[in-house]
Amino acid sequence: MYAFTYERPKNVDEAVKLLKKAKDGKILAGGQTLLPAMKLRLASPDTIVDLSRVKGLSGIKASSKAVTIGALTKHIEVMGSAEVQKSIPALAHLASLIGDPAVRNRGTIGGSLANNDPSADYPAAALGLGATIKTNKRELPADKFFKGLFETALAGDEIIESVSFPVPEKAGYEKFPNPASRFALVGVFVSKSKDGVRVAVTGAGEGGVFRVKEMETALAKDFSAKAIEGIKVPAKNMIADIHGTAEYRAHLIGVMARRAVAAAK
């Protein structure tokens, strides 16, 4: 790792000041993506702003309308939360599929969303449920938050404080893991609510997480696996690598979407 200055602010304002002051400041949440990148010398921030002592960024609040999760809430807390399991079981299920137990003990929802890895799970949930991301500056709908590979709408001194997921009538998440990294080769999150149906795909798109409108339209009419059987996602713009061709990923989107619909509750 390159040397850096370590800061541990007590509140968000202080953190923002430190980020502004730094030449290349990075926020440390759970560190499960940032630290490996720094170890491999792929990231070289001059300042690390560790949010672990900032109060109020962790925890889960549920109402009949929405589940709101603090940015520093760990994956293990989301998967184990009785409220999440009751209101949006697909979200708890998704959290249980991230990384491995030790990673889930450290990794956070805010860190995952801010990083926007094209194979990460949470972006699928955020987009698939139409979540709202609340930062120290504004509230951003998921549809406007994700901007491509590892790119989000966040400004350099903007910090995610919480994420609010509307409670759907039904939702499901199916993930086909990459055999090596265990990130999603393809993950599909589907939800049905009074605002409509959402189908969000992670792992497959060259531009990161995306929605499949054709499936959404079909599912809005008939929320069943059968309804999307004939829909083929084009292989264009799909990731192609040693783990799967673009055609294979496109095909898997259909399979995972059907299974997610079938499993939705």
Partner 1 sequence: MSATGIGAAVRRKEDQRFITGTANYTSDISRPGEVRAWFVRSPHAHATIKKIDTKAAEKMPGVVAVLTGADLANDKIGGLICGWAITSKDGSPMKMGAHPAIAADKVRCVGDQVAVVLAETLNQARDAAEKVKVDYAVLPSVVDPAKATAKGAPQIHDVAPNNQIYDWHIGDKNATDAAFASAKHVTKLEIVNNRLVPNAIEPRAAIAEYDQGNDALTLWNTSQNPHVARLVISAFIGMAPEHKLRVIAPDVGGGFGSKIFIYPEEVVALWAARRVKRPVKWVSDRSEAFLTDAHGRDHVTHAELALDADGKITGLRVRTIANLGAYMSTFSSSVPTYLYATLLSGQYAIPNIYAEVEAVYTNTAPVDAYRGAGRPEATFVVERLVEVAARELGIDPAELRRKNFVKSFPHQTPVIMAYDAGDYDASLTKAMEMVDYRNFGKRKAESERKGKLRGIGFSTYIEACGIAPSQAVGSLGAGVGLWESAEVRVNPTGSVEILTGSHSHGQGHETTFAQLVSERLGVPIETVSVVHGDTDKVQFGMGTYGSRSGAVGMSAISKALDKIEDKAKKVAGYMMEASADDIEFKDGKFTVKGTDKSVGWGDVTLNAYVAHKFTGGQLEPGLKEGAFYDPTNFTFPAGCHIAEVEIDPETGKTTIANWVAVDDFGVIINPMIVEGQVHGGIAQGVGQALLEGASYNADGQLITGSFMDYAMPRAGDLPSFKVDTTMTKCPSNPLGIKGCGEAGAIASPAALINAITNAVGHENVPMPATPGTVWKAAQRAVMKKAAE
Partner 2 sequence: MPTVTVTVNGKSHAVDVAPETLLVELLREKLRLTGTHVGCDTSQCGACVVHVDGAAVKSCTMLAMSADGASVTTIEGLANGGSLHPMQEAFREHHGLQCGFCTPGMIMSAVDIVNRKGSELDEQTIREELEGNICRCTGYHNIVKAVGAGAKAMKGGGKSARAAE
Under the binding rule (CB under 8 A), the answer on residue 97 touching partner 1 is no
Dump strand ranges (E) for 101-239: 132-135, 139-141, 146-148, 151-152, 160-166, 170-177, 184-193, 196-202, 210-211
Q: Which element (helix H / strand E) includes 7?
A: strand 5-7
What is the nearest approach in angstroms of partner 1 to the Cβ of residue 254?
9
Is 75 or 259 the residue whose CB approaches partner 1 more closely? 259
248 binding partner (options partner 2, partner 1, none; Cβ < 5 to 8 Å by kind): partner 1
Shortest distance, position 181 Cβ to partner 1, whole Å: 4
**Would you count residue 252 as binding partner 1 (CB under 8 A)?**
yes
Residues in touch with partner 2 (CB under 8 A): 1-6, 8, 28, 31-32, 35-36, 38-40, 48, 50, 52, 76, 99-103, 105-106, 181-182
What six digits make up the tokens of 184?
A: 């999603």
Determine contact, residues 227/257, Cβ cutoff 8 Å.
no
Q: Decide if residue 101 touches partner 1 (CB under 8 A).
A: no
Binding partner of residue 17 among partner 2, partner 1, none, CB cut-off 5 to 8 Å per kind = none
6 vs 165: CA distance, rounded Å: 33
Question: 174, 259 in Cβ contact below 8 A?
Answer: yes
Q: Nearer to partner 2 by C-beta: 231 or 263?
A: 263
Nearest to 114 by CA among 26, 3, 203, 224: 26
The residues that touch partner 1, with contacts defined as CB under 8 A, are: 1-3, 40-41, 176, 178-182, 185, 241-245, 248, 251-252, 255
